[in-house]
Structure 1
Amino acid sequence: MLRVLTLSTLFPDASRPNFGVFVERQTLGLAAHPDVELRLVAPVGLPPWPLKAHAHYADLAKLPERETWKGLDTHRPRFTTLPGTGGRFHAVALRRRLIPLLTRIRRDFAFDVIDAEFFFPDGPAAIALGRRFGVPVSIKARGADVHHWGHAPATSAQVIAAGHAADGLLAVSQAMRVDMAALAMPPEAIRVHHTGVDLDRFAPRDRGVAKAAYRVTGPLIVSLGALIPRKGHHIVIEALASLPAATLLIAGEGPERAALTAQIARLGLGERARLLGSVPHVALPALLGAADVMALASSSEGLANAWVEALACGTPIVVTDAGGAGEVVTDRAYGRIVARRAPAFAAGIAAVLADPPAPYAVRRGAERFTWEANTARLYEHLASLVKR
């Protein structure tokens, strides 16, 4: 029996049900493996002093420190994050908080391996904990955890050192593996570990009926992701101005809401561009199934789950050449990879709308990404570290 301690600061909770749902699904899959026992540690970073009273942090502070989450024995220890320090002390604070917790867990659950599911601050903390408890450590890179923290002045050295010290490394795409190697992480230690998609839930449906639920009759473009500059929603909104018959629905929440609302008004798009706010993950199949195109103008990605989920719904994608886009859009039926500019997005979307591929031809692009394959590869990877 392989005893796994999964560590992830990127994991859903009662206040953030959409936060890291792909990590949750992967962890549930591994926990269900017949040769695995798993305990989950999902730390919660909180600032000190009055900032903790902010509504967002107040909700996090109310979370139970231990609970059963979808059948998983889950610990949610708090660790201190200091605003204005660029994350410099996050990993140290996390490590200090986890030493007594893992010491207690180990009395009843002698874990064989630490599976860190986000590179920072989880990775550096996991390396120190692995050495303390004498177990191997795997760290997975997902995108922003390396693209941001691996280049930020306050944290890059910690990320790179963790990459060198890890017993095994995982990357969500081949492109992510290349980016890690560019940071001088040993390429021979990095294995590509693709995400999965629930092909039963994410599936083609009657597009006309699905559109009616959103009061749309013409071409529908959908974009998924937090309302932050990196996701490039402003680019897709600008592209919409050149597609007069189309409607754009954006699912996500974040600090750019006011700016995007102002842009929609300035361009006179009215109801043709709507910000839906945060949409529960369980509702995404209906939204993606209604769309003729899923467009996402990201400046960086690892391998976006939204790409694969759209394809599974029979919806082609128009995306930038970010991260693993080239590993997903391997056939013209799956969509287009375009430059990160509004005219390029307008042209790419128009091309797909003018010659729409059959939904089940699009869906074939997602059939390579299953949670069963994800679980099998993760189990084999972690077991090999323990055996070695």
Structure 2
Amino acid sequence: MTIRLVTVSTLFPNQAMPSHGVFVETRLRHLVADEDVTSVVIAPVPWFPTTDSRFGAWSRHAAAPRNEIRFGLDVRHPRYLVVPKFGQALTPHTLFRTLKPALAALLAEGYRPDAIDGHYLYPDGVAAAWLARHFNLPLVLTARGSDVTQWPDFPRPRALITEALDQADALITVSQALAEGVRALGIDPHKITTLRNGVDTEIFNPIEPSTARAAIGQTNRYILSVGHLIPRKGHDRVIEAFARLATAQLAGHDLIIAGDGPERAALGDLAAAHGLFSRVKLIGAMPQPRLPLYYSGADCLVLASSREGWANVLLEAMACGTPVVASPAAGNDEVVRSRAAGLIAADFSAASLAAGLDTLLADPPDRGATTAYAEAHDWRTISAGQREIFTRVINQRQPARVRELARSG
């Protein structure tokens, strides 16, 4: 039996922002490739009146197409209202007001979904729960990180997240640490399944390091840090750790930071303060097809995040043969479980990251063993797990599938 889904998330790539939420797209495209599953994606983007590039990310949202086909998936980007300073409270409501007519239009076209596949618990998951209730559809939610580790710290989001989780027919978490966080909200543990992300070895595979460095125009060997330039990603601590080793173990190395965000200027200033401006290279956001060059050419990837759900960059680097040094953020120890993978720093400090780098680079694992470790994290098993969950919840709700369009309004 073909399972027909509607996937709902604001975290989904589009033509104007091809790396935004790529982890949601990756899991979905593997699911529809590996299993007898189809999905139409409703991925709302914030409304903004102009594509003028002076407005940064807001203008890129405005440039997103209304409809597009990505990897064979029908993806729709209706607009929703984001109200500055009031977004935390209002966004679930504005999202629902956008999602409701978008799904009604899909029904009018003749598409009959069996379930809603919602990603990220707040505000997306809350709006997806209201949508599922309105159209009387089964709901599977996926928790991905700060929707469990951060949003429940605020009373109103916590109440709405808990309500959505209680309503959901099943919940997927991408790490066991997140599953424990969800259980702490009082959710029935029988609803929760941990399906860790896999790695796409068609994209992320090893390139000989000197060849990779030549391809990106990099003469020196280097350490790599990848992620949005925001405080919780800890790029400042990576720079501090690099500075501790810059005249010793890493005397011949550069530090490359791939990502974009509001901390860019501050990170450049920090590198300059350590006299490392020419050796710390902030290269901006990197499209996924080019990342394997940067991973493969690096001696090590450093991930210094203070919070993570399941850090895809760790397995991506390993698949390219590059070991990692990761912070002890919850979930990272579920990715780094072998010396072939790398190691977990003792704490979040720059000193501990530097010590981890020193230890790893003094005796690095075989790059082939690192690649083999990553390849064991395959997507087929994860796709099969999703198929089982959707089949179960659809069968449980079979008598009440979808309301007629005339009744759903």
- Fold shared per TM-score above 0.5: yes
Task: Rate the CA distance shift 1:32–1:215 in 2: closer, same or farther, 3 A.
Answer: closer
Superposition map of 1:263-282 within 5 A: 263-282=270-289
Cα contact 1:46–1:52 (8 A) shared by 2: no
Match of 1:286 in 2: 293
Match of 1:26 in 2: 27
Cα contact 1:86–1:154 (8 A) shared by 2: no
Aligned-pair CA distance for 1:79: 0.9
Structure 1 stretch 208-217 or stretch 191-200: which is displaced more?
Answer: 208-217
Cα contact 2:229–2:262 (8 A) shared by 1: yes
Task: Rate the CA distance shift 1:34–1:228 in 2: closer, same or farther, 3 A.
Answer: closer
Match of 1:126 in 2: 128
Match of 1:84 in 2: 85
Structure 1 segments unaligned to the other structure (5+ residues): none
Cα contact 2:170–2:393 (8 A) shared by 1: yes
CA distance in 2, matches of 1:343, 1:287: 25
Structure 1 stretch 300-309 or stretch 39-48: which is displaced more?
Answer: 39-48
Match of 1:334 among 332, 341, 365: 341
Deviation per residue, 1:295-318 (Å, 9 max, x gap)? 010000001100110111111110
Provide the secondary structure at the position in 2 that maps to 1:87.
helix
Task: Rate the CA distance shift 1:348–1:72 in 2: closer, same or farther, 3 A.
Answer: same
Task: Rate the CA distance shift 1:238–1:294 in 2: closer, same or farther, 3 A.
Answer: same
- Residue type of the partner of 1:301? E
Cα contact 2:199–2:379 (8 A) shared by 1: yes
Aligned residues: 388
CA distance in 1, matches of 2:35, 2:327: 39
Superposition map of 1:116-195 within 5 A: 116-195=118-197
- Residue type of the partner of 2:294? L
Provide the secondary structure at the position in 2 that maps to 1:88.
helix
Using the aligned pairs only, state the percent identity. 40
Structure 1 stretch 103-112 or stretch 287-296: which is displaced more?
Answer: 103-112
CA distance in 1, matches of 2:86, 2:304: 30
Residues 1:66 and 2:73 aligned together: no
Aligned-pair CA distance for 1:149: 2.2
CA distance in 1, matches of 2:129, 2:25: 22
Aligned-pair CA distance for 1:170: 0.5
Superposition map of 1:289-300 within 5 A: 289-300=296-307
Cα contact 2:149–2:307 (8 A) shared by 1: yes
Provide the secondary structure at the position in 2 that maps to 1:200.
coil
Deviation per residue, 1:16-42 (Å, 9 max, x gap)? 111111211112122334522211111
Superposition map of 1:1-388 within 5 A: 1-33=2-34, 35-46=36-47, 54-107=55-108, 108-244=110-246, 245=251, 246-338=253-345, 339-388=347-396
Match of 2:403 in 1: none
CA distance in 2, matches of 1:384, 1:291: 44
The TM-score, its normalising length taken from structure 2, stands at 0.90
Aligned-pair CA distance for 1:129: 1.4
Please, what is the CA RMSD of the aligned residues? 2.1
Provide the secondary structure at the position in 2 that maps to 1:333.
coil
